[in-house]
Chain A
Amino acid sequence: MRALTRKPITTFLVLIAFIAALPAVIANAASTDGEEIEPPDLPDWSFSGPFGRYDQAALRRGLQVYVEGCWDCHSLRHVAYRSLSALGIGYGPEDIKAFAADFDVVDGPDETGEMYERPARPSDRFAAPYPNKEAARAENKGMYPPDLSLITKARKDGANYLYSMLIGYTDPPAGVEPVPGMYYNKYVPGHFTGMNAPLLDNLVEYDDGTEATVEQMSQDVTEFLSWAADPHMNERKSLGLRVVIFLVLLTIMFIALKKEVWSHLYTPPEGHPESGDASGKPAREAK
């Protein structure tokens, strides 16, 4: 024990391990309250982990689910149409132009001072379903459907949160009183939410023939919204891999260099036959 506490680093590591375990123990002891909800089967996200990347086919399907299933209420105000090219879903400049032109945006004022609607251009951000927050509230029983640009970043474990919420709509279990105007969701904290189940089987028809089950659409739209929140992830991880490999090699070199330099710590005294030439260069061969 004496030897253990002598070196600060050992004590430090032992402490860290001990303290890291402590909250888990306490949380375990405290988690007996509250009803038991069986957690959902979560998909293996293509984008998780250091080598994970977005799945292009899923992004393409997810974009379709967003536009046909979510866009009626939820904006995507930080995402520009042009950035869909970065999706790598095979949209060329002309496709994006055509895609954007399906949406109307307000522009102006024109030379007579009037605002006017025009088809969206690739440089526009996704057109909003409501002109402003107040209009959105008025249409949704006073509740504001949040913007989805950052939804997976704005929740803890965002992708899994979103997916669970989307597949969590069921009838309230026996004994749970329905709340008027609210919808039961087994995975949402508090269980009642202002949004009705947004996805129903075969809500969309996929071009690639994938069967549009609620689970499939939820997974695809989660993939798409994860991209929308973090569009540079592919690039970031690719660059990161190269940077980390470089830095690991550099650090190994530094460690070797440090060992080499410090092995010459004991310089021979002046005038000693092995003390090197007159310029003071140490005789490294002396070792």
Chain B
Amino acid sequence: MASRRWNNGLVQWLDDRFPIVSATHHQMYEYPMPRNLNYWWNFGSLAGIVLVILIFSGVFLAMQYQPSVNYAFDSIERIMRDVNYGWLMRYMHQTGSSLFFAIVYIHIFRGIYYGSYKSPRELTWATGVIIFLTMMATAFMGYALVWGQMSFWAATAITNLFTAIPLVGENVTTWLWGGYSIDNPTLNRFFALHFLFPFIIFAIVVMHLIALHTTRSNNPLGVDLKSRQDWIPFHPYYTVKDAVGVGVFATVFAILVFFMPDALSEPENYIPADPLVTPEHLVPEWYFLPYYAILRAVPDMGFMSAKLAGVIAMFGAPMIWLLLPWVDRSPVRSATFRPIHRFFFWVLVVNCIVLGWCGANVPEGIYLIISRIATAYYFLHFLLVIPVVSLIEKPRAVPTSIAKPIFEKPTPEFSAAVAAGQRP
């Protein structure tokens, strides 16, 4: 039931039956957005836009792609050479998936820095982690579709990990492959699932947004909205601010797509898959490097083979984020007011980049030692550092409201507005 009356009869007729106008009006003008969001808050909407770009370019690619071990690689070359603007769709899809991960990583670390996972936003956080896990699966299967050397051997290496599952490992792997090795049935199901998963991601994104709009956005101060002075409507303030982010992102995206489309991927994947020739170095795309380092860093645990332990650690690495709302006991959300927590946040960021760097190198000598230390720290960060710091740290004073610091330390524009008799 739409409560609002509209001047136009047709709009009213529509809104009485399908309240799209009221709902949009509510989200645009009545839904409160904290007035102090900084540009780190742009990455959520950017991720949504990139998802749409990937779905659109992907649908066009799917119209021309052949999921067959004999034709997959060649059909992509045909898209690149003979299909009108096929090269554009393909490069947008390839570069877009890389940037999707970059944006989502920034979005996740923003959430960690500002404590966006804390009560009452635990389920916004959890749905976000599930989106990320689904993204990983989607990206992995999409990469296999290229059917280049890296595609084939990455798919082989990752699906082989399932043989580490005790007792049923071999059976599970055969079931995943649809045969006794990676072959046509595997490629076919990867194609089907790679087409399906983005829509599942889209559905979880809707859940993510419902949860977000129930608890409302966190903000850099991490304090709740208390009065009318604390919030502003989404439109025009955040529509226009998001537009700035979209403009900057689109420019970076275009530079990559048009001028350095292969800069983020491995040259080896332009060699067609050959089950008889193993590439010298097996390297995943950059966004999987930290997990790859973790997989290879874990030693034989005695009670558990190195392989099984590595697999558990690798899949556990993103899943451990689900614990964050409960291991962090501090009532203060924003790291701005938590000096020790903030220090360790940056240690985590560096640690993840170091892991990525180890993942790109052969796990021998110094690289193996570094990746073992970094892997240990990664898990200790969530299981030990965060809980302990949250209990012993004395946070700095947190402002009582979002508007208060603005009143206390007014900007010149603000003072001018007040002097002119305007109330913020």
Residues in A lying within 8 Å of B, measured CB to CB: 5-6, 8, 11-12, 15, 19, 22-23, 26, 50, 78-80, 83, 146, 149-150, 153-156, 158, 229, 231-232, 236-237, 239-241, 243-244, 247-248, 250-251, 254-255, 257-258, 261-263, 265-269, 272, 274, 286-287
Contact = CB atoms under 8 A, between A and B. Distances in A.
Interface of B: 35, 40, 74, 77, 80-82, 87-88, 113, 232, 236-237, 240-241, 243-244, 246-248, 250-251, 254-255, 257-259, 261-262, 267-268, 270-271, 336, 342, 346, 349-350, 353-354, 357, 366, 413-414, 417-418, 420-424
A134 to B, nearest CB: 13
A258 B244 contact: yes
B116 to A, nearest CB: 13
A261 B77 contact: no
B422 A269 contact: yes
Contact of A15 (B87, B271, B349): B349
Nearest to A251: B247
Contacts of B357: 19, 22-23
Given A19-B353, A251-B244, 12 more contacts: A15-B349, A26-B366, A146-B271, A231-B81, A232-B80, A232-B87, A243-B258, A244-B255, A254-B240, A254-B244, A263-B413, A266-B414
A122 B415 CA distance: 74
A269 B423 contact: yes
A2 to B, nearest CB: 9
Given A258-B243, A265-B232, A15 B346 contact: yes
Contacts of A78: 74, 77, 81
Contacts of A22: 357
A257 to B, nearest CB: 5
Nearest to B354: A19
A258 B113 contact: no
The A contact surface, by secondary structure, is: helix
A192 to B, nearest CB: 16
Contact of A240 (B35, B257, B422): B257
Contacts of A146: 271
Contacts of B421: 268, 272, 274
A268 B259 contact: no
Contacts of A258: 240-241, 243-244
A266 B168 CA distance: 64
A160 to B, nearest CB: 12
A236 B258 contact: yes
Listed from nearest, the 9 A-B pairs whose CB atoms lie closest are A240-B258, A251-B247, A266-B417, A154-B270, A268-B422, A153-B270, A269-B423, A247-B251, A254-B247
Contact of A266 (B74, B240, B422): B422
Given A154-B268, A274-B422, A261 B254 contact: no
Contacts of A261: 236-237, 240
A244 B252 CA distance: 9
Nearest to A19: B353
Residue among A79, A244, A268 with most chain B CB within 10 A: A244
Nearest to A149: B77
Given A23-B357, A266-B422, A268-B421, A153 B259 contact: no
B398 to A, nearest CB: 15
A258 B268 CA distance: 44
A35 B53 CA distance: 48
A163 B82 CA distance: 27
A165 B87 CA distance: 29
Contact of A155 (B74, B267, B349): B267
A87 to B, nearest CB: 13
A79 B82 CA distance: 10
Contacts of B251: 244, 247-248, 251
5 contacts: A12-B349, A261-B240, A265-B232, A265-B237, A269-B422
Contact of B262 (A50, A153, A255): A153
A272 B244 contact: no
Contacts of A255: 244, 247
Contacts of A50: 259
Contacts of A266: 413-414, 417-418, 422-424
Contact of B254 (A232, A240, A267): A240
